[in-house]
Structure formats: C-alpha cells, structure tokens
Copies of this chain bind each other. A is one copy, B any other.
Amino acid sequence: LTDGFAQPLVSLLSDFGLVDPFVAEMKAVILSVCPEVRIVDISHDVDRFSIMMGAFLLFEAAPYFPKGTVHVAVVDPGVGGSRRAIAIRTRRGIYVGPDNGLLIPAAQSDGVMDVFELTNRLMMGSEVSSTFHGRDIFAPAAAHLACGQLPEDCGPRITDYVTSPYGDPVFGKGMVTCEVLHVDRFGNVITNLRQAHPSEQGIVLGDKILFYVGRRRFSSRLVRTFSDLREGEVGAIFGSHGFLEIVAREKSAAEKLRLKRGAVVRLHLTG
C-alpha cells in the first residue's frame, strides 16, 4: 500500500511526565533538525529513574513499530556523570539513549547488530547542558539518524555496554521463580515467564496454576481470555506480549494479591 512513502518515524519514552515541557522541548528539537519526521510517544510516565520499568515498556511497544523507526528512550539517573550515550542498530531499527541497560531488552528482542558510543558533537545540539541530555544529545542525534545519518556516524563501536536489567525466570525442582516486570493500568501483573519458557524446560503447564507470593498461596485457572473468568476471579493468562500475567476479570489482580513491580512470584509446576 505505502511503498515509497518515506516519512521517518521516531518514538519517545521517558520518565519526564507530561506536566513539565521536557517532552515538548525534545520534540521541538527533533522537528528543528528533521521537520518531516513523525513522532509517537510510547510513555512519559515511567516511574522516576526506573530503568527496569522503562526497559519493559520499550521492549513491549517496539515490535509494533515499522522497520526503520528510531527509538529514543531517556530514563537517566546518571545524567551529567560518566555514563555514556549510545546508539544501537538492530535488525528492525535504531535505539538512542543512555548506556544504563534501558535500551537492551528491546534491542535484543529485535536482534542487536552494533552498539556505538554517541560522541559526535555534530549530531548533538549546539549547547549541551549537564542536566538534560534528552533534549541536548539524544533528541538531536535521533533526528539526524531519522533524516539519514548512520549509526556508525555517532562514534566508535563498543562491546562493553551495560546489559539488561532483567533476569529470566529460574526453574527449580517443581517450582519456577518469577519476577514481576510490570503492573499495568488494569492491575494485571506481568511476570517474566514467557509462553515458550516451560516447553523449553520440557514442562507442560496444566489448567490450574498454583502460585505463592511470600507465604501466601493462590490457586488460579490458566485461561485463554478474560471472558473465560467470572467477574473478579483471579486467573493466569499469556497476555498479548507473550508473558504470563496474573489477572482478575474487571478487577485489579495487583490490589487483590498485593503485588508490585519487582515482587517475586513462585509457580508450582504440576504439569
């Protein structure tokens, strides 16, 4: 349908919120460098300085963007210090942001090809503050990349970048220990167990899932869709991103089970 339509796409993710004009300043800088770019916000309500939450949201959203999208992500407690700025070329697009692990889950899911340190002053703003690299470094670099410069123009290739803030679930004797990656707006609790994990371990999940939060124990059905649950019933579901989610129909599972991001959930494996 749309072959040859060349408007480049930039996505933005940050912990800047939408009250202050930080995001607007980044957009204004991007459009000053590369006026024909399209900009899509992924989220600006990442919890302050939560690299883990930012990494998860970026990882979730990035696969839906067209090939060639430039993703800019800024959750950056080390701004102005010694942490490096990086650009990553993957099989599907380009990622720009701080070298603190934020970009890695999404980039690895695409297939990382090369990581470059972003040192080229010609790809930054004319003045670089020590407090707002989102506007002064990442936004202009992304705009230059969207308008045709190459990741290798950013600076030297590196291999010692900071890796993912996540771990994989740990399979033990009849038990798998998962981490809560995220709690979404609906109170769905997203764990780091992917649909492929159990079969990789030679395990088949049964229809009933028994899980433990600390010493509390819960039993739930593994269902295909929310509407297979009764109103308020807690269930388990492989959500639209392929992770096991603990959910409750039209209720918040997180509230019901008092679960937060970073919590540990152990699943009993009977299958």
A32 to B66, Cβ gap below 8 A?
yes
Q: A1, B240: Cβ atoms under 8 Å?
A: no
Q: How many residues of A contact B (CB 8 A)?
A: 66
Hey, which bits of chain A sit against chain B, CB under 8 A?
1-2, 5, 7, 9, 11, 16-22, 24-25, 27-29, 31-36, 38, 40-45, 48-49, 57-58, 60-61, 64-66, 69, 77-82, 129-132, 135-136, 147, 184-186, 224-228, 237, 239-240, 250
Is B224 in contact with A130, judged by CB distance below 8 angstroms?
Answer: yes
Smallest Cβ-Cβ distance to A186: which chain B residue: B48
**Across the interface, do B35 and A2 meet the contact criterion of CB distance under 8 Å?**
yes
- The answer to whether A66 touches B31 (Cβ under 8 A) is yes
Rounded to whole Å, the gap between the CB of A260 and the closest CB of chain B is 14
Bound-state Cα–Cα, A135 to B11, Å: 17
* Residues of the B chain whose Cβ atoms lie less than 8 Å from the Cβ of A42: 21, 24
Checking B29, B64, B185 against A25 with a beta-carbon cut-off of 8 angstroms, the contacting residue is B64
Tell whether, in the assembled complex, residue B36 and residue A24 are in contact, meaning their CB atoms are under 8 Å apart: no
B20 A80 Cβ-Cβ under 8 A: no
Complex CA gap A135/B224 in Å reads 17
Alpha-carbon separation in the docked complex, A38 to B131 (Å): 28
Residues of B within 8 A of A81 (CB): 225-227
- The verdict on A78 contacting B24 (CB below 8 Å), with A18-B44, A35-B2, A240-B136 known, is no
Residue pair A24, B49 in contact (C-beta under 8 Å): no
**Assuming A18-B43, A19-B45, what are 9 further A-B pairs, CB within 8 angstroms?**
A2-B35, A18-B44, A21-B57, A25-B64, A28-B40, A32-B65, A130-B224, A131-B240, A132-B240
Query: Is there contact, CB below 8 Å, between B225 and A5?
Result: no
**A-B pairs with beta carbons under 8 Å apart, 23 shown:** A2-B33, A2-B147, A5-B35, A17-B185, A19-B43, A21-B43, A21-B58, A22-B185, A24-B61, A24-B64, A27-B40, A31-B40, A31-B65, A31-B66, A64-B135, A78-B227, A79-B227, A80-B226, A82-B227, A130-B224, A130-B225, A131-B225, A136-B240
